[in-house]
Amino acid sequence: MVNAGSAVLQEETSQTSPVSQLLDGLRRKYAGRITAELHRPASPAEYAPLPAELDPRLREALAQRGIQRLYSHQAQAWHCLRGGKSVVVVTPTASGKSLCYNLPVLQAALESGAKALYLFPTKALSQDQVAEILALNQAGELGVRAYTFDGDTPGDARKAVRTRGDIVVSNPDMLHQGILPHHTKWAQFFENLRYVVIDEMHTYRGVFGSHVANVLRRLRRICRFYGSDPVFVFCSATIANPGELAEQLLGEPVECIDRSGAPTGERTLLLWNPPVVNHDLGIRASARSQTTRITRLAMGLGLKSILFARSRLMVEVLTKYLKDVFDRDPRRPPRVRAYRGGYLPGERRSTERALRDGAIQCVVSTSALELGVDIGALDVCVLNGYPGTVAATHQRLGRAGRRNRPALGVLVASSDPLDQFMVRNPDFFAEVSPEHARIDPDQLLVLLDHIRCAAFELSFRRGECFGGRDPKEFLDYLEEEGVLHREGGNWHWMTDSYPANGVSLRSVAEGNFLVIDRSGGKQEIIAEVDYFSVPSTLYEGAIYMIQSRPWQVEHLDWEGRKAYVRETHADYYTDAIDYTRLKILESFEQSPQGVGQCSHGEVHLLVRMAGYKKIRYYTHDNIGYGLIRLPDQEMHTTAIWWTLPPNVLEQSFTNRWQAMEGFLGAAHAVHFSAALLSMSEHGDLGRAVGSRGLDGYISTPSPEQPWPENLQPGERFDPTLFLYDNRPGGVGLAARLYDLRGDVLQRAVDLVNGCSCRKGCPSCIGPVLASDEGTDEDPKSLARSMLALLSGIGVAAAGHA
């Protein structure tokens, strides 16, 4: 660095920035583990002047916060919105997205007292948003009132929110159950509603998105009643089809703004495969050990880091390992903190604040920090395992990176096939595009639910449209059911019920559990856990961790929704073992397809917590088991399934292992195509592959126990692929897929045939490992043969062994 010219000096400084130092160190020491390096160069800012008509008070508020000009996308949003055009803004994290809507909203509030409704998918995001508006408000003494309105808003404050709020911040569930059915109390608000802001739009997909689209139809119907026609602002993380999704949610054309004017620093992404530790068995070191090592190096260089883990348990374990290194001295403030769902809001707020203020150096999180919670900018992002989708990967990596400074992301692969595929095929990873978000607002049962809710809110008039179609058929049905009463040209609500309470937008419900600490005779609530996480985290004997401090569950009061815990000093953590079983209750219809049969009907799904393992820290030895005594989690839903006769399999495949491999590969492709055709999310459809046992339940094969070795004596070998509707009662996906069964298999065949991979990849039949690639085995053609049998398509073309 001595005697260098200024240009060289600058370059060297950037080369020796802590991020570059870390990168160089990693490259030097661990070259063998880095399977690829992906770079994205820095991009400069594109600015636009502040709009001339901007209210001087707003101009002042911006100046106070150091903003003299806008990024190009902010200016573009301003012009569209002022012109009454709805927009969707798709730009990266920390690109000043919220100014895109805050500016026009505040301007309209100042100009004419116009109101705005902000919808966020979670409460945490709402509170963030209010804080940001308040800051602007204070800076410019604007006098604009922004309030959150959600389940936590106290009863006595609700009236003030309704009548005095200029900006009301809420969520779709609250709009659906708390606001629209009581719209008369909000009359003033709706009369003056000018903007509706829908942030984190990419989360409104699949069945949830279909519900939200209908809630927006209801919202616009109510607005029409009050004579307003608000403009919509959608904001989204990167997905393949933001414009399309926004238009489907709104039912109208939407302008897509996807060119960010915000500057970004250079980014490097390392794909990291843990080293092989046992060459004979091909066992690799754990992702966990690699993740902590990389994070430790980053922290040692003073870099602010975020670490994403895929489960809540893994967040706690990683936090403990990092705290053991960095937070050993209890007198000093902690440098590492955990962040996940289940923590009390106060705990989460304090972590967010500490991150923004730079008080902590590393945060370990689940997807909870994937959304736009404001935590300031960070330098390094480490992913402990592939998040499962391209969009989520980008979203998480976007957490690292400050303006004009280099950022580093590291994706550490676990031993999952999908993870291994990704790090071993960097070209695939670099080229694959983010996922499409699909919704089907006209899905029959979803639509019926919302027409019911809409009829409660306002009587339907003959000829009135809902979502661009005449709902007469639905109204007649509801009349026949005794829900509505038709008189003249109007359908009136007639029952003593509140329909919105019977319709849940998401498949989460049933009430949260409180975790109560009774160490030392106290009774203190230390966490709140959602219903679905309880069986796997709060069983009696479980070690429950918060900021990696262990508590042991002493008693779980299932009915009372409480878990009583006591602080403990265990040197182990616990991990639940569960299994899922599925049983056909009734087959509504079946028809031959290919050489097998396709059916749809009702199934019973059962998730049982069998027991738990005690795992010692660091060594990860299994030091004991415990039993879990909990009611089975049951779900009654609808499904579609395909069955092949066992003798066909025996004729078509040389051995059972091949048959199983082919079936699993085909299942992957069919699942993918079914989600696509039913416009649902992958997770809206569950998949099970197995053979029907004596008790009617499906037993699933595994590499250790392939078919039919895993069958009990006397059980029929009856290979079946199930796709079930992943919501209690189902939303009608199975029947729809049954109608489309030909297309589903055709699309799956096309998918596999059209995929350019050699022996299989996550885009077609699921990840295929290099070990397979090197051998004669060809999972792709096995899957192709299986699809040919299932569908009867291209039998001749499918040349199999």
357 burial (CB, 10 Å; 0-12 / 13-18 / 19+) is: exposed
Q: Is residue 794 left, alpha or beta, with left meaning phi > 0 and alpha meaning psi from -120 to 50?
A: left
Q: Cα(735)–Cα(598) distance, rounded to whole angstroms?
A: 12
Q: How many CB atoms lie within 10 A of CB 387?
A: 21
- Is the distance from CB of 407 to CB of 267 less than 8 angstroms? yes
CB 442 to another protein: min, Å: 9
**What does DSSP say about strands 336-339 and 362-365: parallel, antiparallel, or unpaired?**
parallel
CB 673 to another protein: min, Å: 15
- The SS3 assignment for 204 reads coil
Which residues sit at the interface with another protein, rule CB under 8 A?
Answer: 181-185, 187, 444-445, 448, 455-459, 473-474, 476-477, 480-482, 485, 487-488, 490, 492-500, 587-589, 600-602, 638, 730, 732, 735-736, 739-740
Q: Cα(427)–Cα(230) distance, rounded to whole angstroms?
A: 44
Is the Cα dihedral 320, 321, 322, 326 positive or negative? positive
Q: Residue 791 is encoded by which pair of tokens? A: 């569908």
Nearest by Cα to 408 from 396, 419, 397: 397
591 vs 651, which CB is nearer to another protein? 591
**Number of C-alpha atoms within 13 angstroms, CB side, residue 689?**
19
420 vs 638, which CB is nearer to another protein? 638
66 vs 155, which CB is nearer to another protein? 155
226 vs 697, which CB is nearer to another protein? 226
CB 456 to another protein: min, Å: 3
CB 485 to another protein: min, Å: 6
182 vs 405, which CB is nearer to another protein? 182
CB 134 to another protein: min, Å: 31
Nearest by Cα to 370 from 406, 397, 389, 403: 397
269 vs 454, which CB is nearer to another protein? 454
The dihedral formed by the CA atoms of 566, 569, 571 and 577, expressed in degrees to the nearest 10: 0
CB 599 to another protein: min, Å: 9
CB 716 to another protein: min, Å: 24
The DSSP symbol for 434 reads P
589 vs 695, which CB is nearer to another protein? 589
Q: Cα(608)–Cα(492) distance, rounded to whole angstroms?
A: 45
CB 561 to another protein: min, Å: 24
CB 640 to another protein: min, Å: 11
Q: Cα(216)–Cα(211) distance, rounded to whole angstroms?
A: 9
Q: Residue 602 is encoded by which pair of tokens? A: 């009702």
Name the helix (H) or strand (E) containing 160.
helix 155-164
CB 759 to another protein: min, Å: 35
CB 30 to another protein: min, Å: 52
- Is the distance from CB of 282 to CB of 419 less than 8 angstroms? no
Q: Residue 257 is encoded by which pair of tokens? A: 């703004």
Q: Cα(172)–Cα(176) distance, rounded to whole angstroms?
A: 6
Question: Phi and psi at residue 67, in whole multiples of 5°?
Answer: -110, 115
CB 732 to another protein: min, Å: 5
Rg (CA), the chain: 28
Q: Cα(125)–Cα(154) distance, rounded to whole angstroms?
A: 19
Q: How many CB atoms lie within 10 A of CB 729?
A: 12
- Bond before 333 cis per omega within 30 degrees: no
Residue whose pair of structure tokens reads 């919704």 in the numeric block: 439
Residue whose pair of structure tokens reads 């719209």 in the numeric block: 183
CB 232 to another protein: min, Å: 23
Q: In sequence order, which residues have a C-beta less than 8 Å from that of residue 353 and are 6 or more positions away? A: 359
284 vs 452, which CB is nearer to another protein? 452
CB 563 to another protein: min, Å: 28
Nearest by Cα to 693 from 685, 701, 683: 701
327 vs 602, which CB is nearer to another protein? 602
416 vs 442, which CB is nearer to another protein? 442
500 vs 556, which CB is nearer to another protein? 500
**Number of C-alpha atoms within 13 angstroms, CB side, residue 202?**
24
350 vs 587, which CB is nearer to another protein? 587
Q: Is residue 26 left, alpha or beta, with left meaning phi > 0 and alpha meaning psi from -120 to 50?
A: alpha
512 vs 590, which CB is nearer to another protein? 590
Nearest by Cα to 232 from 218, 216, 244: 216
Which one-letter amino acid corresponds to residue 516? Answer: I
190 vs 573, which CB is nearer to another protein? 190
3-state helix, strand, coil in the chain (%, to 5): 40, 25, 35
For 51, 103, 209, the CA distances from 89, given in Å and listed in that order, are 18, 14, 18
CB 457 to another protein: min, Å: 5
Q: Which residues pair with 325 in a beta bridge?
A: none
206 vs 730, which CB is nearer to another protein? 730
Q: Cα(689)–Cα(666) distance, rounded to whole angstroms?
A: 10
CB 601 to another protein: min, Å: 7
For 33, 284, 322, 364, the CA distances from 295, given in Å and listed in that order, are 15, 19, 8, 10
CB 564 to another protein: min, Å: 24
Nearest by Cα to 769 from 425, 284, 279: 425
721 vs 733, which CB is nearer to another protein? 733
432 vs 740, which CB is nearer to another protein? 740
345 vs 729, which CB is nearer to another protein? 729
CB 729 to another protein: min, Å: 9
Nearest by Cα to 116 from 135, 96, 101, 98: 101
